[in-house]
Chains A and B, each alone.
Chain A
Amino acid sequence: MEKTIDGSDARIEVRGVHKHFGSNQALDGMTFDVRPGQITGFVGPNGAGKSTTMRVILGLDRPDRGTALVGGRRYQDLRTPLTHIGALLDAAAVQPSRTARHHLLWLAHSQGLGAGRVDEVIRKVGLQDVARRKAGGFSLGMRQRLGIAVALLGDPPVVMLDEPFNGLDPEGFRWMRGFLASLAGQGRAVLVSSHLMSELQDSADHVVVVGRGKVVADMSVRELLASVSRGRVTLRTSALARAMTVLASSGATVSSTGSDTISVTELPAENVVSLLSRHAVPFSEISEHRASLEEAYMELTRDAVRYRGVVPEEAGR
């Protein structure tokens, strides 16, 4: 029986967080919210600052500037933090000679929880058969489940997982996706990071895209798709010049990509067909290409990289 989740507890607020390691500016004004009842994807290329942001949220790394609040409070003010936020940062962070159950037990004791709760989460992640085995012998998938059990131990309103899909087989992948959905369904705020948008596109409701230590897009998955997916239509025609004229005059962006192929953007495929038919322009093949979330993400992060590339020059002036 899960407790009722209070919406004011089930959120993370990250505001203007800066963090540097040596000369490397790891976080450069990271700002975003994680809201209750939905899965927020936290995406960006390796080195974009996802893990550092999560470590700042957990009070492990101290930010140079900015704040990160869990349920409205600073992490170091939480007395039983695991009952406020459960996190999986590094599935390998177990002492190999300790059993899975004992690993959970010391964590439970640190939060004033008992062995009963440990057995509950073991069942929940399906580790009951191996709970009394040493964690050192666990496969990556088993360790991921153990890490999830740690995150769930305190029945927290916020769950934060760093790359939880890493190393999962298809079965595990499906299990993880269902699991995340059920957590969000219970009203929890769920933050899931990945360097691959493809891992998140079917599960996340909201995405925070980061590049070079700052947020480059923070919107619902639907908005993200809409913002970048200008539908692209590819057309094969023997009357290349006429087709281009007709389409261009109706406001579409047209370019020829071969002796008999045209690429059309900013005009849906059905409009292209009706326009060409009305003007009796022959065409032999038409295909519509919808931008995937992955392409949108690539485009966004490419921009971020390009934008960031300018900064050192400006600073040098």
Chain B
Amino acid sequence: MTSTLTPPRTTARPARGGFGRLLHAEWTKFRTVRGWVWSAVGAVLIICLVGLLATAAGNESDPDGGSALPVGPGGEAVNDSFYFVHQKLRGDGSITVSVSSLAGAVTTDPDDSGSGLAPWAKAGVIVKDGLDQGSSYAAMMVTGSHGVRMQYDYTHDRAGMTGAASREAPRWLRLQRTGDTLTGYQSADGAKWTEVGHADLSGLSATPEVGLFVTSPSVEEETGTGTGFAPAVATGTFDRVTLGGRWTGGSWRNDQVGRDAGTSASYSQDAKGGATPSGDGFAVTGAGDIAPVVGGPATSGVRTIENFLVGTFAGLIIMVVVGAGCVTVEYRRGMIGLTLAASPRRGRVLVAKGLVVGSVALAVGVVSAAVMVPFGGRRSEANGFPVLTVPTATELRVIVGTGLLLAAASVFALAVGALLRRSAVAVTMVVVGMVLPYLLATASVLPDGASQWLLRVTPAAGFAIQQSIERYDQVVTVYAPSSGYFPLAPWAGLAVLGAYAAVSFAAAVVLLRRRDA
């Protein structure tokens, strides 16, 4: 022993080193409890297992329906099925037509079909890169009840004049190619033209297919059990087909683009696609759609990548138990005193814990989603279900988002655990507040209004980050939680969960600092 007095040592140390030690300690704590490590592994397994079980069934009604859906220029799955009267035309030019009627027939049951026109039945002119499904195009069209539209490359839709086409009030449509630019014009009389819009289709073939098309998606109908969709066909009457510019007419050919009517429509026994010349035009009948594929009942027999991730909620419950447990166990065992004696800066202790638990949950989510998204897709196609492919960026967002969803939920649980200091209560609160609303809202237990409301204001909003399917105004389906559509955009939904986690975490830090340990 020395009794010499030394000058007081300075307390200044690099702050980062201090937090690094804390992080190291919390990580050691986590990895040395076998139950937690196995829980994380178990969470991955259960997410995959539930996903596999939920998508195990083979497609019995259409065993070879597993052919992949066409993919549009933007990387999204599309329907590209229509009846096409066309010819190949080189260079710049224009096509002009007058549409004098668009009528539809709906098959409400196998033996009966009545008149009825889908709101988004389409008849018009189109310039398309080729006959392959999913190829680039621009089109001017008359629709069932949305007036004149210019649409191109599946996801783009621009409105023209309103009102239906009739013999008394035909709609004149024109598409003009100048280089890669396609410009759409409309007219009520064939004399006075206005531009509806233009599309830049870079890389459009020098000799695209140009012509007339008709297509019709299924028609939404209310049944006793909810919203159903009945197959429909549409017939459009085209007059005064005129080619202009350097385009000079050859012979017209008739083709059905797509093997059948696609996922959003179908031909019935007595309604087939076809075209008959009439005067200086054609009457063309077709079914299908030229539009992105959406979820819900409009698209039967199609799997989306979120179908492979339905087990996420089970893995999430496990990570919630781990998150709450890793702080409440310290209170139950009196270890919190030791932890805070070793690291007196209490806010940092909670931050380190949150980082460790959150990172583990993030890894659990990313790993299981990275396995299930491609694996579930291949398996579904092998079982006869087409998969709604989405752009790679969307796929990455769903995979990383699944990790962030689990991370936010586990940190939320940790914060609630630190506030309440009781594991059972904390886990119950988070599960009832987050998982229950999600299950109720997505399993069509509640009316749509209530589901939408729950998925806006509860932490369950975070599940929106897993939604891969898009909402399109020009495609009709049931845009409701029960068909995979969340009321909030993906990142906005995750932000709601993040806000819950952040507010409870801040409260937990304040309380931990203030309270005697």
A residues adjacent to B (C-beta < 8 A): 4-8, 36-37, 55, 58-62, 72-73, 75-82, 87, 89-90, 92-99, 102, 105-107, 109-112, 150, 186-187
Contact = CB atoms under 8 A, between A and B. Distances in A.
Which of B11, B26, B28, B338 has most chain A Cβ within 10 Å?
B338
Contacts of B329: 95
B341 A58 contact: yes
- Smallest CB-CB A-B distances: 3 pairs: A187-B1, A110-B25, A102-B32
A89 B337 contact: yes
A80 B28 CA distance: 17
A110 B343 contact: yes
Interface stretch (B15-23, B393-401, B461-469, B470-478): B15-23
Nearest to B26: A106
A137 to B, nearest CB: 14
Given A8-B6, A106-B29, A109-B28, A90 B334 contact: yes
Given A89-B337, A93-B337, A79 B28 contact: no
Given A7-B2, A102-B28, A110 B517 contact: no
A105 B516 CA distance: 26
Contacts of B343: 81, 110
Given A59-B341, A61-B517, A99 B24 contact: no
Interface in B383-413: none
Chain A interface, DSSP helix/strand/loop, else mixed: loop
Nearest to B339: A110
Contacts of B167: none
A92 B334 contact: yes
B341 A5 contact: no
Contacts of B13: 79
Nearest to A75: B344
A87 B342 CA distance: 10
Contacts of B34: 97
A109 to B, nearest CB: 4
22 contacts: A5-B2, A7-B4, A8-B5, A8-B6, A55-B337, A73-B11, A78-B11, A81-B342, A81-B344, A89-B338, A90-B337, A92-B333, A93-B334, A94-B335, A95-B335, A97-B35, A98-B32, A106-B25, A106-B29, A110-B21, A111-B342, A187-B1
B516 A55 contact: yes
Contacts of A87: 341
A110 B329 CA distance: 19
Interface in B21-54: 21-22, 24-26, 28-29, 32-35
Contacts of A77: 11
Given A110-B342, A150-B338, A93 B4 contact: no
Nearest to B35: A97
B341 to A, nearest CB: 5
A82 B342 contact: yes
A97 B35 CA distance: 8
B110 interface: no
Contacts of A7: 1-5
Contact of A106 (B2, B6, B28): B28
Contacts of A92: 333-334
B1 A186 contact: yes
Interface in B74-117: none
Contacts of A55: 337, 516-517
Given A73-B11, A187-B1, A95 B21 contact: no
Given A37-B1, A62-B516, 9 more contacts: A6-B2, A6-B4, A7-B2, A59-B341, A77-B11, A79-B13, A81-B342, A90-B337, A109-B21
B224 interface: no
Contacts of B32: 98-99, 102, 105-106
B340 interface: yes
A95 B28 CA distance: 13
A4 B2 contact: yes
Contacts of B3: 7, 36
Interface in B212-253: none
B8 interface: yes
B326 to A, nearest CB: 10
A93 B335 contact: yes
A199 to B, nearest CB: 23
B6 to A, nearest CB: 6
Contacts of A8: 5-6, 8
Interface in B329-371: 329-330, 333-335, 337-338, 340-345
A95 B333 contact: yes
A93 B33 CA distance: 15
Contacts of A94: 333, 335
A37 B1 CA distance: 8
B21 A4 contact: no
Nearest to B17: A112
A101 B517 CA distance: 25
Contact of A60 (B5, B17, B337, B345): B337
Given A61-B517, A90-B334, A76 B21 contact: no
B22 to A, nearest CB: 6
Contact of A61 (B18, B26, B345, B516): B516
A80 B5 CA distance: 21
B1 A59 contact: no
Contacts of B28: 102, 105-106, 109
A102 B32 CA distance: 6
Contacts of B333: 92-96
B344 A76 contact: yes
Nearest to B338: A93
B340 A60 contact: yes
A59 B24 CA distance: 22
B345 A107 contact: no
A90 to B, nearest CB: 5
Contacts of B345: 76
B21 A112 contact: yes
A58 to B, nearest CB: 5
B14 to A, nearest CB: 10
A109 B24 contact: yes
B395 to A, nearest CB: 38
B398 to A, nearest CB: 35
A78 B345 CA distance: 9
B341 A81 contact: yes
Nearest to A96: B333
Contacts of B4: 6-7
Nearest to A153: B342
Contacts of B334: 90, 92-93
A102 B37 CA distance: 14
A92 B18 CA distance: 27
Contact of B516 (A60, A82, A107): A60
Contacts of A37: 1
A72 B344 CA distance: 17
Contacts of A79: 11, 13, 18
Contacts of B340: 59-60
Nearest to A134: B34
